């Protein structure tokens, strides 16, 4: 018997049809090209939700990171300190700017960038006469980093802090939204994110002039002139009005999605969190995550690949934790500061199905497969 596929995380449109209302408005007004009312309002609504002064709706979270680096002034040969335990989209824009990434280890207590390793890296490069231009921190799987320490370090050394909050929209650190604690924040609306526009991203900041400049760059840096004139390098990064309409509708159900993600995490904690060798991803008391993916580490006889293969045989999707950037073939030649905490998380970690469309019976099916692995040991 072939069961219906259970996805790791897939798009989940609102039951109320909010997205179609905004898409229909775009069609009715013939604003289906880039820019339009949905783009403007999506920027305004998201900025208001996270309490940021300004926002730029873009084609992807990667584009948002790229323009954040450009707004920071990152250029040829500059050092950018970046979380190593992340997806490559965090690090690739550093290369776009011909800058040099230096990868930073994780803190086992948060799974996110280690403040200790961060300061060690800053001191190292200052001694070399290459003071880092920016710190790019990732809020992994909807968990927040130890931001008070990171912010204090960045302020003490006068280094710009960019938050990659692609996975953490709606997550709070001591009551404040991720993406708004540093100088710039980025969000992603890729198909697997907690809310989606099919593809898209947002750059937020309280530096309103810099966000306006980012919008200018994102629209091919077209000068104010009757003819087409370009005095700077531009990019085709602006979000379309149709995509923004989907985003406006998705924003209305973000709280529902976070609630369901939390329920999924708590279900796994209750059903398998006590198994020998199982540890749930760390949720600290100052952290109100969005639980984008429910992740565990396995330190006993059952290994991550055992879980992934067993679920795969039952048409259930799971995956390993991100492979750190310093272990990737493309980035292997760049510096890494740390003690391999992120390598251990990668070796032992697995992301369990976290799709908000899953039913309770789907969850029972998943944990049933997992439990049988322990019964056989």
Task: Supply the residues annotated as catalytic.
Answer: 193
Q: Please check whether residue 120 is in contact with residue 67, taking contact to mean a CB–CB distance below 8 angstroms.
A: no
Instruction: Count other C-beta atoms under 10 Å from residue 353's C-beta.
Output: 23
Q: Please check whether residue 336 is in contact with residue 318, taking contact to mean a CB–CB distance below 8 angstroms.
A: no
Residue 256 vs residues 215, 251, 374: alpha-carbon distances, Å: 31, 10, 33
Q: Please check whether residue 104 is in contact with residue 91, taking contact to mean a CB–CB distance below 8 angstroms.
A: no
Interatomic CA distance for residues 56 and 95, integer angstroms:
22
Q: What is the largest CA-CA distance in the chain?
A: 74
Q: Please check whether residue 192 is in contact with residue 8, taking contact to mean a CB–CB distance below 8 angstroms.
A: yes
Buried/exposed 119-131: b ≥16 CB within 10 Å, e otherwise: bebbeebeeeeee
Torsion of CA 315, 194, 85, 327, to 10 degrees: 50
Interatomic CA distance for residues 345 and 299, integer angstroms:
10
| One-character DSSP codes across 75-86 | -TT-EEEEESSS
């Amino acid at each position: 018997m072939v069961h219906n596929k259970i996805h790791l995380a897939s798009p989940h449109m609102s039951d109320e049809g909010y997205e179609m209302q905004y898409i229909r408005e775009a069609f009715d007004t013939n604003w289906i090209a880039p820019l339009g009312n949905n783009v403007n309002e999506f920027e305004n609504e998201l900025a208001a939700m996270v309490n940021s002064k300004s926002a730029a709706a873009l084609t992807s979270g990667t584009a948002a990171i790229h323009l954040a680096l450009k707004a920071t002034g990152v250029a040829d040969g500059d050092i950018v300190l970046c979380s190593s335990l992340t997806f490559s989209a965090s690090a690739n824009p550093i290369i776009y700017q011909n800058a040099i990434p230096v990868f930073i280890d994780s803190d086992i207590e948060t799974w996110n960038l280690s403040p200790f390793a961060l300061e060690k890296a800053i001191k190292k490069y200052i001694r070399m006469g290459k003071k880092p231009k920016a710190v790019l921190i990732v809020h992994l799987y909807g968990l927040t980093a130890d931001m008070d320490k990171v912010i204090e370090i960045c302020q003490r050394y006068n280094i710009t802090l960019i938050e990659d909050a692609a996975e953490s929209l709606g997550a709070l650190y001591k009551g404040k939204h991720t993406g708004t604690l540093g100088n710039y924040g980025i969000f992603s609306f890729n198909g697997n994110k907690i809310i989606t526009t099919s593809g898209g991203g947002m750059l937020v900041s309280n530096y309103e002039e810099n966000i306006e400049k980012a919008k200018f760059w994102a629209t091919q840096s077209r000068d104010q002139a009757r003819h087409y004139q370009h005095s700077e390098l531009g990019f085709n990064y602006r979000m379309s009005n149709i995509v923004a309409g989907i985003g406006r509708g998705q924003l209305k159900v973000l709280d529902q999605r976070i609630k369901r993600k939390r329920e999924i995490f708590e279900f796994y904690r209750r059903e398998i969190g006590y198994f020998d060798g199982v540890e749930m991803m760390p949720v600290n008391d100052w952290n109100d995550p969005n639980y984008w993916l429910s992740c565990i580490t396995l330190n006993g006889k059952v290994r991550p690949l055992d879980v992934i293969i067993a679920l795969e045989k039952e048409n259930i999707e799971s995956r390993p934790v991100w492979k750190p950037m310093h272990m990737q073939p493309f980035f292997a030649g760049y510096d890494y500061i740390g003690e391999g905490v992120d390598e251990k998380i990668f070796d032992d970690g697995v992301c369990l199905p976290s799709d908000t469309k899953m039913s309770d019976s789907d969850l029972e099916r998943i944990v049933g497969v997992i439990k049988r692995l322990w019964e056989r040991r």
